Amino acid sequence: MKQRIAVLGGGAASLSSVFQLTSVPGWQDRYEITVYQLGWRLGGKGATGRDPTQGDRIEEHGLHLWFGFYDSSFRMMRAVYEQLKRGPEYPIATFEQAFLPHNFFTMQQQFKGEWHAWNLPLPSNPSKPGEGSDFPPPWDYVLESFELLWSLWEAYLADLDDDLLEGALAAPFRLARTAMLKSIALALDQARGLLKSISLLRQSPGGGTPWLTGRLVPPLIRLALTLIHAFLGNSIKTDLEAYRTWITLDAIGTLLIGVLADDVFDEGPDSLNDQNFVDWVKKHGASKELLESCLIQSAYSSSFALFHWTNNPDMEAGTVLRGAVRMFLMYKGSVTWRFAAGTGDTVFAPLYELLKQRGVKFEFFHEVTQLVCPDTGPSEVTEIHFNRQAHLDGAEYQPLMNVKGLPCWPSLPLFDQLVEGEQLKDEQVDLESYFSGWQGGTPRVLKKGLDYDLVVCGLSLDPLQYVAKKLTARSEAWQRMLTRLQTNRTQAFQLWLNQDLASLGWKYGESLLSTFGEPLDTWADLSITLPHENWPAAHEPKVVGYFCGSMTDSDWSYPPRTDLGYPARQEALAKAEALNFINDKLQFLWPDAFIPDPVTGKLLFRWSLLVDPLNRIGPERLDSQWWRANFEPSERYVLSVTGSSRFRLEPGNTGYTNLFLVGDYTQCGLNAGCMEGAIISGAMASRAICGFPTKIFGEGNGLFD
């Protein structure tokens, strides 16, 4: 008899599990799979909507892209596009058309009281994301990092002219200066020799010299860094290039020192997770300049971990280290890859279409309200309770719309397919909101053995607080997971403009920018998506900018579900944050988008730059743009606060025999909020169910697994 699998939620983790389960030849003889989805679209935190009243524009939950080390994610999507076999009439038909490489980054750093752009054009490599399997031996990455440190130092010295080099110290101390440079070179040379020797020892049978590595090499690297700091002297405070050189060298060197001194290769990065990352680098000698730099800030802002966007960043040291190593040392092709269109259009629409072709069933408009288990006896999920939010006017809901030949998810349900469609539309009911107040649904209960056998639960962390109370009451592991893991609200806004970036005063072309002023610290030019929108010629944008960051969240708690005004208040906060950012900070990025007030001299944003088909005046034009507060339980970002990883449950070890958890909050290797973690988690659940896939790229807890 076939096993019936109920998949709860249609985010990346759930769909990854279904993709892997249905990739096994003959899976239809073993399983019947149904995905139950809240509302009208798939994607979870990566869901995308298209607004037909605004040029079919792409509206995202935030800024989404994939890093080049997302091996499991890219492998899945390569297979999706290859097997879907879209014809040439599709504007995005192949993997290569869907994912576009991007290597240009900008960090913003305050120096001497002013913002400065730090552009980082990172190198490409010939590897292809989602292909190949072999990486160099892990120790090679240590040698590579050390050589990078030395080469950056030599490059800095080479750029100094003789006068500047002679003037690094006062004339009477030129001999001391020469001796200092020789001492730096000697310390680095000795460290290099030891690292190469240790590398050979580690590769020999029975090799492994953690005590030698930790005792001998770190002091030499720290000695070199101390001498470099002394050599640079006051120029670190007065010269921007000297400052950047120093914090880069200190960052690389300190991470090497920490990895070697704490024997991370043998103990694993999780051995560091009882320490906050910033405390860990401080313990290993990081300078004040590094601790206050954009390099450290980027480690936190990239994961929305500037907790409550105060001076209280919190993220596990091992989790940050693992992510940084994989991001910068293990990427394939490009450090990042952007989506040609919306996340939903590029990832979730083709994935949905392929799974439908394979025979997977999808039940939209199903809100999970309760998971039931017995108080005693077998530890299993015996019932799944839903609120069936709407009823279909036909046999099956067809969720996608066509935008210039591309299948896309709409920003609202396709009301003409729903019995309650007119009422939902008239009352502007948000079926994705916990606070919708919608009373038009009907209950539906699935029973184990009758309607399903196995459950793959892809609900995010916070919804489990409400729907899994019975499971939590019976399991201490669940209680620890739900109390020790923490989440954060995020926010985003998008601006469509009628002039190009150069006309706005941005000098550096297409860039991904981070570490700007909190809370909205990240911006990307995603004008590459505009060809897949459908604007009238009179209102066609030339640029679209995506902004995102953490959201004010001090002393938060969810109000009662009956507080129907809560969503509007949160959206108002997000709009106010966007307005404040535009008025107070955007001038540092786009100076030519501002003009001085003729009376006060204050710089004012040129609101006419915003594309607005209604031609509103002044700040009212902001109403034509897109902003979003991600405050719903299903939308909150799962953090990796210090000491929390050990409380994550494994996808196949939930304590309930027929229940598998999937999501980036599970014990999935990366243990950080990202789509790769979710997709790995889904693959792990599939393996726990059917034994496939045997190899999951990136699931290990090591630095390079």
Strands 487-488 and 637-638: antiparallel
Residue 560 lies in a domain: no
Residue 538 lies in a domain: no
Which of 63, 43, 18 lies closest to 432 in space, CA to CA?
A: 43
* DSSP-derived secondary structure for 50-88: EETTTTTEEEESS---EETT-HHHHHHHHHHHHHH---T
Residue type, 278: V
Do 363 and 275 fall into the same domain? no
570 pLDDT exceeds 60? yes
164 pLDDT exceeds 50? no
Average pLDDT of 617-632? 96
Domain of 452, CATH number, reads 3.50.50.60
Whole-angstrom distance, CA of residue 140 vs CA of residue 453: 47
Which of 171, 187, 283, 289 lies closest to 229 in space, CA to CA?
A: 289
pLDDT in tens, 269-295: 999 999 999 999 999 999 999 999 999
Residue 35, φ and ψ in degrees, nearest 5: -100, 125
Strands 104-111 and 114-121: antiparallel
Q: Of 144-158, 183-197, 541-555, which gets the smallest average pLDDT?
A: 541-555
Do 282 and 312 fall into the same domain? yes
Do 156 and 87 fall into the same domain? no
Do 260 and 286 fall into the same domain? yes
Q: Which residues pair with 371 in a beta bridge?
A: 384
Do 156 and 192 fall into the same domain? yes
Q: In Å, how far are 146, 251, 555 from 190, measured between CA atoms? A: 12, 20, 52
Per the CB < 8 A criterion, the answer to whether 49 and 39 are in contact is no
Do 179 and 254 fall into the same domain? yes
pLDDT attached to residue 197: 83
Query: Which among 270, 304, 329 is the end of a domain?
Result: 329
pLDDT attached to residue 177: 77
pLDDT attached to residue 308: 46
Displacement of CA 88 from its chain's centroid (Å): 31
pLDDT attached to residue 602: 92
pLDDT attached to residue 213: 59
Per the CB < 8 A criterion, the answer to whether 651 and 679 are in contact is no
Whole-angstrom distance, CA of residue 272 vs CA of residue 323: 13
Q: What's the DSSP call for residue 558?
A: P
In the chain, how many domains are there?
2
Residue 59 lies in a domain: no
pLDDT attached to residue 406: 98
pLDDT in tens, 454-511: 999 999 999 999 999 999 999 999 999 999 999 999 999 999 999 999 999 999 988 8
- Token pair 């070697």 is found at 260
* DSSP-derived secondary structure for 449-474: TTTBSEEEE---HHHHHHH-HHHHHH
Residue 259 lies in a domain: yes
The token pair that represents 579 in the structure block: 């307005």
Do 325 and 344 fall into the same domain? no
Do 176 and 325 fall into the same domain? yes
Do 78 and 213 fall into the same domain? no
* DSSP-derived secondary structure for 80-136: HHHHH---TTSSS-SHHHHEEEE-EEEEEEEETTEEEEEEEEPPP-S--TT------
Q: What share of the chain in percent tops pLDDT 90?
A: 82
Do 192 and 294 fall into the same domain? yes
pLDDT attached to residue 216: 84
SS3 508: coil
Cross-sheet strand order for the sheet of 442-447: 366-372, 383-388, 442-447
Query: Which among 277, 310, 329 is the end of a domain?
Result: 329
Average pLDDT of 253-279? 94
User: Could you tell me the residue range of the domain that residue 13 belongs to?
Assistant: 3-50+73-99+339-485+642-690
Q: In Å, how far are 123, 250, 429, 556 from 120, measured between CA atoms? A: 9, 17, 45, 37
Residue 497 lies in a domain: no
Residue 311: pLDDT band with limits 50, 70, 90: low
Do 343 and 305 fall into the same domain? no
Average pLDDT of 675-689? 98
pLDDT attached to residue 173: 57
Do 324 and 354 fall into the same domain? no
SS3 522: strand
CB atoms within 10 A of CB 404: 12
pLDDT in tens, 498-548: 999 999 999 998 889 988 878 899 999 999 999 999 999 999 999 999 999
Q: What is the mean pLDDT of the chain?
A: 92
- In angstroms and rounded to an integer, the radius of gyration of the C-alpha atoms of the chain is 27
CB atoms within 10 A of CB 377: 8
pLDDT in tens, 13-62: 999 999 999 999 999 999 999 999 999 999 999 999 999 999 999 999 99
pLDDT attached to residue 554: 57
Whole-angstrom distance, CA of residue 405 vs CA of residue 544: 21
92 pLDDT exceeds 80? yes
Dihedral angle computed from the Cα positions of residues 452, 458, 462 and 463, in that order, rounded to the nearest 10 degrees: -40
Residue 121 lies in a domain: no
Whole-angstrom distance, CA of residue 86 vs CA of residue 444: 37
Residue 137: pLDDT band with limits 50, 70, 90: confident
pLDDT attached to residue 309: 45
Query: Which among 329, 358, 384 is the end of a domain?
Result: 329
Name every residue whose Cβ is closer than 8 Å to that of residue 131 and which is 6 or more positions away in sequence: 74, 75, 78, 332
pLDDT attached to residue 557: 77
- Give the best-scoring range by mean pLDDT among 108-112, 179-183, 345-349: 345-349
Residue 210: pLDDT band with limits 50, 70, 90: low
Residue 361 lies in a domain: yes
Q: Which residues pair with 496 in a beta bridge?
A: 544
Sign for the CA dihedral angle at 523, 525, 528, 532 comes to: positive
Residue 174 lies in a domain: yes
